[in-house]
Amino acid sequence: MTRQLSTSHPRWAPYVFITPFVLIFCTFMVYPLVQSILLAMQQTFGPKTTVFVGLKNFADLFADRFFWLAMRNTFVFAVASVALQLPLSLGLAMLLNRPRLKGRALFRLIFFSPSLVGIVFVAMMFALMFHEREGLVNTLLRGVIPHFPREFPWLQEYVMPALIIATLWMSVGFNMIYFLAALQSVDRECLEAADIDGANGWQKFLYVILPEIAPVTRFVTLLSLIGSFQLFELPYILLNGPGPENRGLTVVMYLYQYGFEVGDLGYASGIGWTLALVLMGLTIIQRMLSREQ
């Protein structure tokens, strides 16, 4: 589609509309972005005093075992939570997409409702849910699994599974919305043709539905991965910090601690750039995969 642009307007008109955005965008996005490159080569003591240290921050970062621990935790969380989220959200969407289903709108609303809760408040809810003795999670597990222990220390020893469970509750319904929209736009004629060729349900899913929704699947995967790599509030509130033996330390939490508790904005920017490069790498991989198709 060729773009039609107005030329009959007064010369000032577009500038009136774009100026507020450009001013704020340049001040609070472009400038800090450039500044973050310079900051990454400085050491600071609070926002006032800075010393130029060149690439020392990055050298320190690569030798910093807490940084690598944070990277590892974040990576494990991102891969595990996305790998569980995708099939669950797609499964729910398939259930809701059945023809002549009654109460579809209500179910959709129910499944979506956890994504309305801010992540800080989710952390508050799960702080009690994961109570080692009386929390709802353990009460339910005791009811379902025979001989489940009287105490199960989620927030002391099983931090990663706890974070993943809370994340699943929060985001499965959100991703389901995307899958449901994609399933509703799957070509009906293709499905009917598969029916005529005698394909069973599983074959239809594998050879018709999955390829048709592949672009949305890639989009949801990328979005969830980017979100998961920025995990911060959930463990920070749930564990009041990085947790026992730093089991809940994530990259953004480490950035926060260095920048705003230690006061070294330079080292924090170094962490920020490392994270940004990882995420940009993921985005480029996703672009390449979509282009191949």
- In terms of residues, how long is the chain? 293
* Beta carbon nearer to another protein, 36 or 156: 36
Of 58, 75, 158, 219, the one binding another protein by CB under 8 A: 219
Of 49, 200, 203, 283, the one binding another protein by CB under 8 A: 283
Window 109-148: residues binding another protein (CB under 8 A): 109-114, 116-121, 124-129, 131, 133-134, 136, 139
Window 152-191: residues binding another protein (CB under 8 A): 169, 173, 177-178, 181-182, 185
In the three-class reduction of DSSP (H, G, I as helix; E, B as strand; rest coil), residue 100 is classed as: coil
* Residue 3 found at the interface with another protein (CB under 8 A): yes
Min separation Cβ 274 and another protein, Å = 10
Of 80, 186, 237, 262, the one binding another protein by CB under 8 A: 237
* Residue 41 found at the interface with another protein (CB under 8 A): no
* Residue 269 found at the interface with another protein (CB under 8 A): yes
Min separation Cβ 47 and another protein, Å = 4
Of 30, 51, 55, 206, the one binding another protein by CB under 8 A: 30
Total of residues contacting another protein (CB under 8 A): 97
* Residue 273 found at the interface with another protein (CB under 8 A): yes
* Residue 22 found at the interface with another protein (CB under 8 A): yes
- Name the token pair of 263: 């006061």
Window 42-61: residues binding another protein (CB under 8 A): 44, 47-48
* Residue 101 found at the interface with another protein (CB under 8 A): yes
Phi, psi of 44 (to 5 degrees): -125, 155
> Are the CB atoms for 231 and 252 separated by under 8 Å?
yes
Of 61, 85, 233, 257, the one binding another protein by CB under 8 A: 233
* Residue 92 found at the interface with another protein (CB under 8 A): yes
* Beta carbon nearer to another protein, 17 or 147: 17
Residue 52 pairs in a beta bridge with 42
* Residue 202 found at the interface with another protein (CB under 8 A): no
* Residue 2 found at the interface with another protein (CB under 8 A): no
- Name the token pair of 190: 């293709």
279: alpha, beta or left, given left = phi > 0 and alpha = psi -120 to 50?
alpha
Residue 127, C-beta contacts closer than 8 angstroms, at least 6 positions apart: 155, 237, 238
Min separation Cβ 173 and another protein, Å = 7
- 72-75 CB contacts, 8 Å cutoff, 24+ apart: 73/160, 73/246, 73/247, 73/248, 73/249, 73/250, 74/228, 74/229, 74/231, 74/250, 74/251, 74/252
Min separation Cβ 16 and another protein, Å = 7
Min separation Cβ 25 and another protein, Å = 5
Residue 43, C-beta contacts closer than 8 angstroms, at least 6 positions apart: 50, 51, 53, 56, 57, 264, 266, 267
If you ran DSSP here, which 8-state letter would residue 186 be given? Answer: S
In the three-class reduction of DSSP (H, G, I as helix; E, B as strand; rest coil), residue 77 is classed as: helix
Min separation Cβ 200 and another protein, Å = 11
Tell which residue, 61, 63, 71, 73, has the closest CA to residue 244: 73
